[in-house]
Amino acid sequence: MKLVRQSFTPVRPLAVFLATALFLSVSAAPGRAAAAPTGPAPETLDLRSAIAFALENNFAIRQAKERIRQQEGVVLEVRARQIPNVGAAGTYQLNEKEISSYIPAADRSWQISVTATQVLFAGGGVRSAVRGSNLAREAAVLDLQATINDALLQVRTAFYGVLLAREKIKVQESNLELLQSQLRTATDRYRAGTVSSFEQLRAEVAVANARAPLITARNDYRLAIETLRQVAGYTSASRDPQSRPPEFVGTLDFTPVNFDLASAFGAAHANRPDLKRLEKLVDAGQENVKTARAGYLPTVSAFGGWALRRGSTNAFRDSPEGFLGGVQSQWNIFDGRATAGRVIQARSAVEQARLGLTETQLAVDVAVRRAYSQWQEATELAETSQKVVEQATEAVRLANARYAAGTSTQLDVLQAQVELTTARTNQIQAFYSYNVAVAALRTAMGLADEFVTR
The SS3 assignment for 38 reads coil
Asked whether residue 54 carries a pLDDT value surpassing 50, the answer given is yes
Q: What is the amino acid identity at position 418? A: V
How confident is residue 380, by pLDDT bands cut at 50, 70 and 90? Answer: very high
Nearest to 159 by CA among 219, 216, 235, 225: 225
Other Cβ atoms less than 10 A from the Cβ of 35: the count is 7
Smallest CA-to-CA distance from 278 within 128, 136, 68, 443 is with 136
What pLDDT, on the 0 to 100 scale, is given for residue 237? 55
| pLDDT-based confidence at residue 241 (cuts at 50, 70, 90) | low
Q: What is the mean pLDDT of residues 395-412?
A: 83
Instruction: Please state the rounded mean pLDDT for residues 230-249.
Output: 79
**pLDDT in the model for residue 111:** 86
Where residue 193 falls (left for φ over 0; alpha for ψ -120 to 50; beta otherwise) is: left
Q: Are 110 and 15 in contact (CB under 8 A)?
A: no
Listed by start position, the domains of the chain span 51-86+124-296+341-453
How sure is the predictor about 106, in pLDDT bands with cuts at 50, 70 and 90?
confident
Where residue 38 falls among pLDDT bands split at 50, 70, 90? low
Half-sphere exposure (Cβ direction) of 144: Cα atoms closer than 13 Å = 18
- Cα separation of 218 and 172, whole Å? 10
- pLDDT over 50 (residue 18): no
Distance CA 147, CA 58 (A): 10
pLDDT score recorded for residue 403: 78
Q: What is the pLDDT of residue 312?
A: 64
CA 454, CA 435: separation in Å to the nearest integer?
18
Res 1 pLDDT > 70: no
- 156 near 227, Cβ under 8 Å? no
pLDDT of residue 14: 32
Residues with Cβ within 8 Å of 335's Cβ and at least 6 positions away in sequence, in order, are: 295
Per-residue pLDDT, 273: 97
Mean residue pLDDT of the chain comes to: 86
How many other CB atoms sit within 10 Å of the CB of residue 408? 16
**CB of 145 closer than 8 Å to CB of 55:** no
On whether the 51-86+124-296+341-453 domain is CATH 1.20.140.10, my answer is: no
Q: What is the pLDDT of residues 256-310, one digit of tens each?
A: 999 999 999 999 999 999 999 999 999 999 999 999 999 999 999 999 999 988 7
Whole-number Å distance between alpha carbons of 109 and 92: 6
Is the model's pLDDT at 4 over the cut of 50?
Answer: no
Predicted confidence at residue 29, as pLDDT, reads: 36
Query: What distance in Å separates the CA atoms of residue 224 and residue 158, rounded to the nearest whole number?
Result: 7
